[in-house]
Amino acid sequence: MKIYISADIEGITGIVNWDEATRWKPDYPPFGAEMLKEVQAACEGANDGGAKEIWIKDAHGVGRNLSFNGLPKNTKLIRAFSGHPFCMMQEIDETFDAVLMVGYHSYASSSESPLAHTLETDLAYMKINGNYASEFLINAYTASMVGVPVVFVSGDIGLCNHVKEINQNITTVGVNQGVGCSVISAHPDQVFEDIKKGVKKALSKDIKECKLTLPEWFEVELSFIDHTKAYKGAFYPNIKKISSTNLFFETSDYFEVLRMLSFVV
């Protein structure tokens, strides 16, 4: 079994402030270490579930948060970003059997996490076909495009509820409950155990039931906080500017959605 892990940081246990998610800030080191620990837990659960090969995408910030420290020998680590539109899912293809998402977070405009956002913090929100879009949804669609299901997601409780609304067969582990500018968090040792057990459980089920069905048509609305970002983005081919801050893009090809996001957001 070949497993793909996409790892973020804003959904690891205890994190509450952007300084803790920013690599060059003094508050970052313990949270970078926790990100690695939760990825390690996912790897151990995957190996217990029969994984032979695990690819890990360091998908936070500039993609230089993770190292091989504590990771099993059957892992490959993708650090930094190539510029490919798959972005947080770089190198995913049809040879993988399942995707795990670790440290993910609620979507932009959600009140479920102090760090809620979608791709970049300058977006007030993103909608796909009228529904608020999370990085989970964007990346799960990418995985589905190459025929691979997302079987496990860990992150804040609001995100986990969002995932279950989209596909109840996906195993989730909630680690933080957002309350205004604060979070109520589970103990890191308990989170390690829960992720390890959750991944093993996810891989023991019928993983095909976790794959999302791609819509036949995509209508994407981007709402920027700064109107100047919308002005610049409006020059992308086939985008419509529908207000001073909002852009609209539609296509039948999901890769074109990803291509647009890579240039506009």
pLDDT digits (tens, 9 = 90+) for 81-106: 999 999 999 999 999 999 999 999 99
Instruction: Indicate the DSSP class of residue 120.
Output: B
**pLDDT band at 210, cuts 50/70/90?**
very high
In this prediction, residue 5 carries a pLDDT of: 99
For residues 158-182, average pLDDT: 98
Q: Amino acid identity, residue 153?
A: V
Confidence class of residue 209 from pLDDT cuts 50, 70 and 90? very high
pLDDT given at position 149: 98
Query: 29: pLDDT confidence band, cut at 50, 70 and 90?
Result: very high
Q: What is the pLDDT of residue 112?
A: 97
Query: What would the mean pLDDT of 153-165 be, rounded to a whole number?
Result: 98
pLDDT of residue 16: 98
Please tell me the distance from the alpha carbon of residue 150 to that of residue 140, in angstroms, as a whole number. Answer: 6
- pTM for the complete prediction? 0.97
Average pLDDT over residues 224-238: 98
Alpha helices in the chain (DSSP H): 29-48, 135-145, 157-166, 188-204, 227-233, 254-264
**Which residues are registered as beta bridge partners of 77?**
56
Evaluate whether 99 touches 150 at the Cβ level (below 8 Å): yes
> What pLDDT score does 152 carry?
98
Contacts of 179 (CB under 8 A, 6+ apart): none
pLDDT for the residue 257: 98
- Residues 185-205 pLDDT 10s: 999 999 999 999 999 999 999
Mark residue 109 as left, alpha or beta (left: phi above 0; alpha: psi -120 to 50; beta: remaining): left
The pLDDT assigned to 141 comes to 98
Mean pLDDT of the chain: 98
Say whether 65 sits in a helix, a strand or coil: coil
